[in-house]
Amino acid sequence: MDNESWNERYAGTEFVWSVTVNEFVEQHLHGVAPGRAIDLGAGEGRNAVWLAQRGWEVTAVDFSDVGLEKARRLASEHDVHVDFVCADATTYAPDSDVDLVVLSYLQLDAEGRRAVLEHAASWLAPGGTVFVIAHDRTNVTDGYGGPPSAAVCYDVAESVAALAGLTIEQAGVVERTVTNEDGVHTALDTLIIASRPA
């Protein structure tokens, strides 16, 4: 989807996604000493705001200005500062090293995925971490929700290969419970945590 399609999706005053931090971001990054973070494909800002509340100096990057406007609103409602950058995640580059790059359900084609993962790895200061949570390719056939096309989903081995040079702390498919009016469902996500040696 291009930025105009995302802008249309974000149109309206209601938040499209949850405003609560992603459960895996919370589980794995809770208690990590804050530093400089980039949330790539930040959308409406749930993860960026959560990180800022924990003392991180956060830059939230997204190519949807409508999504970022909502993220600004969320940051303001929580009285935290986040730097917002409207840019294409596949070509964006920070002006200095960072301690954390979060990619949370940033749906891209294979070339885009490789670019953002390689770039994210290259931005890390020693000891820094790339955190990826995304719709896994197996979710299309065996999971629930998410994009219907495997072409924009992640694959664990492919993602690990793009993060060459980092230490893989965790890499696998994790289950996420989705409860809605249709019942209780299991979605399948790629989870990768990779760090630059200190």
The residues that touch ligand SAM, with contacts defined as CB under 6 A, are: 6, 17, 22, 41-43, 46-47, 62-64, 67, 88-90, 104-108
The residue sitting closest to ligand SAM, measured at its beta carbon, is 43
Whether 6 and 28 have beta carbons less than 8 Å apart is answered as no
What backbone torsions phi and psi does residue 43 show, to the nearest 5 degrees?
60, -125
CB nearer to ligand SAM: pick between 56 and 63: 63
Q: CA-to-CA distance for 111 and 171, rounded, in angstroms? A: 20
Q: CA-to-CA distance for 150 and 136, rounded, in angstroms? A: 8
CB nearer to ligand SAM: pick between 2 and 127: 2
Tell the smallest beta-carbon distance from residue 108 to ligand SAM (Å): 6
CB nearer to ligand SAM: pick between 111 and 198: 111
Tell the smallest beta-carbon distance from residue 126 to ligand SAM (Å): 26
Helices (H), 30-108: 46-53, 65-77
CB nearer to ligand SAM: pick between 66 and 121: 66
CB nearer to ligand SAM: pick between 165 and 185: 185
Tell the smallest beta-carbon distance from residue 159 to ligand SAM (Å): 16
Tell the smallest beta-carbon distance from residue 197 to ligand SAM (Å): 27
Tell the smallest beta-carbon distance from residue 111 to ligand SAM (Å): 11
Q: CA-to-CA distance for 67 and 14, rounded, in angstroms? A: 11
Tell the smallest beta-carbon distance from residue 25 to ligand SAM (Å): 8
* DSSP H/E element including 175: strand 167-180
Sheet of strand 57-62: strand arrangement: 83-86, 57-62, 36-40, 98-104, 124-135, 183-195, 167-180
CB nearer to ligand SAM: pick between 59 and 107: 107
Whether 153 and 140 have beta carbons less than 8 Å apart is answered as yes
